[in-house]
Amino acid sequence: MIDREQVLHVARLARLRLADDEVEQMARELSGVLDHVDKIGELDLEAAEPTTHVVALENVLREDEPQPSLPRERALEQAPDSGEDGFRVPSPQA
Amino acid sequence: MSAEITDLTAAAAIGRIDAGEAGAGEVFTAWAEAAATDELNAYLWRADPDADRDNGEGPLRGMPLAVKDIFCTEGIATTAGSRILEGYRPPYSATAVERVEQAGARLLGKTNMDEFAMGSSNENSAYGAVQNPWGSGRVPGGSSGGSAAAVAGGLAPWALGTDTGGSIRQPAALCGIVGLKPTYGAVSRYGMIAFASSLDQCGPLTRDVTDAALLMRALEGRDPRDSTSVGIEGRVELPSRESLEGLRFGVPRELSSGAEGIEPGVAEVFERALETIAALGAEVDECQLPHAGHGISAYYVLAPAEASTNLARYDGVRYGMRAEADDLTAMYERTRGDGFGAEVKRRIMLGTYALSSGYYDAYYGRAQRVRTRITEDFTQAFEKFDFLVSPTSPSVAFGLGARTSDPLAMYMSDYCTVPMSLAGIPAISIPAGLAAPPEGGEELPVGLQIAAPAFAESRLLDASFALEREIGFGS
């Protein structure tokens, strides 16, 4: 079971503001899903290697050649706030 | 009298252009006018029917194509169904879009979808639910619900979708069309907004198997900008098979008629499909995928874990919306709290929890091991069988709102499709017939899922073609 405190802790880790009613609902719904997921705890998986990638690939390399990158003004175009050739954000310690 | 352009498959329309019976511009205009009549909320953006149209060059001859709004399209609004990307106009196009355009396809519109491809009903779109053209008040499936509804509803000749755990196959089944999830790595993911990077794959939603092959031929290929892409060796062949003689079809007990949650109507259509497969000369036998029943559990750890990291980029700094706040952390938290919908928040929370200190091994680590077991199950099954078949979806199209208050019930919609995603193998859904929903009422489409070993797309399409001819189901 996930309680309210755990929900708030995970929400902080995920940088996600939840409204009060969302916190209660999240605790209930996550508990329900995790109850189901917990069934994989019954399997004997000691001998199984974890899968990180399904296609056998290794050392995918490319030539180390300079390529044009996105022009600065194009990269900044979609930002909610930009200036002085950069992305503008509120102060970290207001 | 000849059929209307919008009654034709893409391949048939191309044939008409080649015969000089229609112009590429005329075909585009006919489809753009059809798209403009959208009452299903299938489209989020549509091309102008009067825009200057070409020439019809390339193998796809200027054919219009609907594209799921998860693909970046240069200069054209791309939202992934989310409010957090409202107004975003990407500075570049996805490789999949570039490839089909190079082959001669033209963008007809961007289709509605579950937010960031998280959902099985299209009800998680920030831009409203999509109606299933087969019955008002029914979901089209998801997450590629807009693409499936557009093709089934006569609003597009074909469409691109993406599939992470069933998001092409399940809506194709619920809307009565063809949907192919290619092998992981067959198609580039560059410019396809990421949900779960080890599972996401782009593929076609079409009226028939031939169109799926035609589009797949243009899509596949290695892309230097996606180092996980490898393409398909040789080219995708257009299907022509008429019999299934010499082929062996396995029926995984865990995913077929007797499995929990499969509606009786779906099971009945599936059993009839098995008879058709046998009648076409194939051997049909039961088999086992002992760990497939744990697919949903593994998937709903792995996919949210990957999503929680992929979606960290939506922070109100570089693109999309921002909610103002006095300090930086509060800005991040408010932007994400306001910009993401309920299901996306749930998955971010689930994924962050599964990756957090103290839970990583119990959830993420174990799920990765279950994934290995499921892949091994398929490898063993394919030693005896050429293809594995199951229903695509345990149910026919359910009612709007029927599962929105129960996340787990919604997740079970992916029960039959998730194991193939975890194993990275190709799987197609083709229309198999009609069945009434358990509560009664109009009959609705049922999909047959056929899975094949990695990179066997041409063989899979060929066998599907023979079956499609025999089942003779038109949307």
Q: Tell me which residues of chain B, numbers 185 to 224, contact chain A at a CB-CB cutoff of 8 Å.
A: 185, 198, 224
CA distance B334 to chain A (A): 6
User: How many other β-carbons are positioned within 10 Å of the β-carbon of residue B362?
Assistant: 15
For residue B162, the SS3 value is strand
Domain with CATH 3.90.1300.10 in chain B: 5-219
pLDDT of residue B1: 39
Cα–Cα distances in angstroms (integers) from residue B327 to residues B323, B333, B408, B413, in the given order: 11, 10, 37, 41
Residues in chain A with CB shorter than 8 Å from the CB of B90 are 78
Q: Is A91 left (phi over 0), alpha (psi -120 to 50) or beta?
A: beta
Q: Give, rounded to a whole angstrom, the gap between the first and last alpha carbons of chain A.
A: 36
Residues in chain A with CB shorter than 8 Å from the CB of B185 are 54-55, 57
pLDDT of residue B57: 86
Question: Would you state the structure tokens that stand for residue B122, as one six-digit string?
Answer: 């299209």
Per-residue pLDDT reduced to its tens digit, B68-116: 999 999 999 999 999 999 999 999 999 999 999 999 999 999 999 999 9
- Tell me the pLDDT band of B52, cut-offs 50, 70 and 90: low
Contact B348 A14 (CB under 8 A): yes
The model's pTM is 0.97
B319 CB near a chain A CB, below 8 Å?
A: yes
Per-residue pLDDT reduced to its tens digit, B209-262: 999 999 999 999 999 999 999 999 988 999 999 999 999 999 999 998 788 899
The second-level CATH assignment, the architecture, of A1-40 is Orthogonal Bundle (1.10)
B298 CB near a chain A CB, below 8 Å?
A: yes
Residues in chain B with CB shorter than 8 Å from the CB of A87 are 317-318
CA–CA separation, B305 and B442 (whole Å): 39
CA–CA separation, B114 and B117 (whole Å): 5
CA–CA separation, B90 and B358 (whole Å): 38
Residue of chain A whose Cα is closest to the Cα of B339: A16
Share of chain B above pLDDT 90, in %: 93
B389 or B260, which is more confident? Answer: B389
The identity of residue A30, as a single letter, is L
Q: Which of B230, B319, B352 sits opposite A10 (nearest CB)?
A: B352
Residues of B serving a catalytic function are 68, 143, 167
What superfamily does domain B5-219 belong to in CATH?
A: Amidase signature (AS) domain (3.90.1300.10)
CA–CA separation, A75 and B261 (whole Å): 48
* Maximum Cα–Cα distance across chain A: 57
Contact between residue B430 and residue B178 where contact means Cβ atoms under 8 Å apart: yes
Contact A57 B230 (CB under 8 A): yes
Per-residue pLDDT reduced to its tens digit, A26-76: 999 999 999 999 999 999 998 999 998 898 888 888 889 999 999 999 999
Domain boundaries, chain A: 1-40
pLDDT of residue B475: 42
Rg of chain A taking only CA atoms, in angstroms: 23
Beta bridge partners of B186: none
CA–CA separation, B87 and B440 (whole Å): 42
Q: What mean pLDDT is reported for chain B?
A: 95
Per-residue pLDDT reduced to its tens digit, B408-465: 999 999 999 999 999 999 999 999 999 999 999 999 999 999 999 999 999 999 999 9
Per-residue pLDDT reduced to its tens digit, B19-50: 999 999 999 999 999 999 999 999 999 999 87
- Tell me the pLDDT band of A93, cut-offs 50, 70 and 90: confident
